[in-house]
Amino acid sequence: MRKQIAAANWKMNLSISEASILLDQLAATSPNLSEHQEAVFAVPAIYIPLATQKLDGLNHFYVAAQNCHPKANGAYTGEISAPMLASIGVKHIVLGHSERREYFNESDSFLAEKTNAVLSEGSTPIFCCGEPLTIREAGTQNSFVETQLINSLFHLSEEQITKVVIAYEPIWAIGTGKTASSEQAQEIHAYIRSVFATKYSQAIADQISILYGGSVKASNAKQIFSQPDVDGGLVGGASLIATEFVAIINALK
C-alpha cells in the first residue's frame, strides 16, 4: 500500500513556548500509526531540535524542514542544506511551496536542483505543485501542474521518483478557508498519477504518494482522504491546533 501521510506545515508561526506546548499536546494525544502511515511536522528550522526531542519515540512521526538550499555548503548566508538537515536526523523536506515560489521567486529549475540535493541525502522531498485561481478559472489546471512536474521532476530515474512525495495544493485554497471539493481533488490527483504513469509506468505511478493541501481541517479530512488517489494531506492552519491535527492524522486511510 502507498504511504498515507498527514504533514503539518507550521510555516513562520509560534513562539518557542507555544511550539513546546503544541508538541507536548501532540505527543500526549497522538494515535498509533499503522505501518503505511506517517505524521510529518515541518516546523520552523530553529524548532527542529525541540520537535525531535518532544516527538521522540512516537512511531512513524517525523520532523521535517520547510525548505533547503540546493548546495551542500558554502557562502549562502541564511540558508540550510539537505546534508545539514540529514546530519540532525531530518529526512523529509518540503520543496516548492507556493509561498516560496511566489515570495522567493523559486523557479521550476531551482526546485529541480533542490530535489536532487534532497534525494542525494536519501531524504524525502515533499514536492508542492498547484495552480493559482486564474488558471483554475480558465480550466487549464491539469496542464499547468503537469508543466511544474515535468520541469522539476522528469529528469529523475524510476528509483528516484518513487522516493518523492507530491503535495498538490491549489493556491486558491491555501489559507483561504476554500477547499477543493473531494471530486476536484480526486480528479487532479488522478491526472497527476497519470502523468507519472505515462512518463514512467503505472506500477511506478502507483507507488507515489500524492497529498492534498488547501484548508484541510478535522471536519473535511476524512472525506478528502477517502478519495482513491488522495494519500493524505499537507496542512497549514489546522496543524497549529493539536486536536485538529490529531483528528486529521486519524482520518488517514
Q: Which residues are catalytic?
A: 97, 169
Residue 60 C-beta: closest distance to ligand PEP, Å = 20
Q: Which residue's CB is nearer to ligand PEP, number 41 or number 200?
A: 41
Report if residue 235 touches ligand PEP, rule: CB under 6 A.
yes
Q: Which residue's CB is nearer to ligand PEP, number 10 or number 110?
A: 10
Question: According to CB under 6 A, which residues from 141 to 200 bind ligand PEP?
Answer: 169, 174-175
Report if residue 95 touches ligand PEP, rule: CB under 6 A.
no
* Contact code string over 109-138 relative to ligand PEP, x by CB under 6 A: ------------------------------
C-alpha cell at 43: 516546523
Q: Which residue's CB is nearer to ligand PEP, number 39 or number 200?
A: 39
- In three-state form (DSSP H/G/I as H, E/B as E, the rest C), the secondary structure along the chain is CCCEEEEEECCCCCCHHHHHHHHHHHHHHCCCCCCCEEEEEECCHHHHHHHHHHCCCCCCEEEEECCCECCCCCCCCCCCEHHHHHHCCCCEEEECCHHHHHHCCCCHHHHHHHHHHHHHCCCEEEEEECCCHHHHHHCCHHHHHHHHHHHHHCCCCHHHHCCCEEEECCHHHCCCCCCCCHHHHHHHHHHHHHHHHHHCCHHHHCCCCEEEECCCCHHHHHHHHCCCCCCEEEECHHHHCHHHHHHHHHCCC
| Count of residues of this chain found to bind ligand PEP when the rule CB under 6 A is applied | 14
Report if residue 214 touches ligand PEP, rule: CB under 6 A.
yes
Residue 74 C-beta: closest distance to ligand PEP, Å = 29
Q: Which residue's CB is nearer to ligand PEP, number 70 or number 236?
A: 236
Q: Which residue's CB is nearer to ligand PEP, number 37 or number 239?
A: 239
Residue 234 C-beta: closest distance to ligand PEP, Å = 5
Rounded Cα–Cα distance for residues 108 and 76 (Å): 20
Q: Which of 216, 249, 251, 252 binds ligand PEP (CB under 6 A)?
A: 216
Residues of this chain that interact with ligand PEP (CB under 6 A) are 9, 11, 169, 174-175, 213-216, 234-238
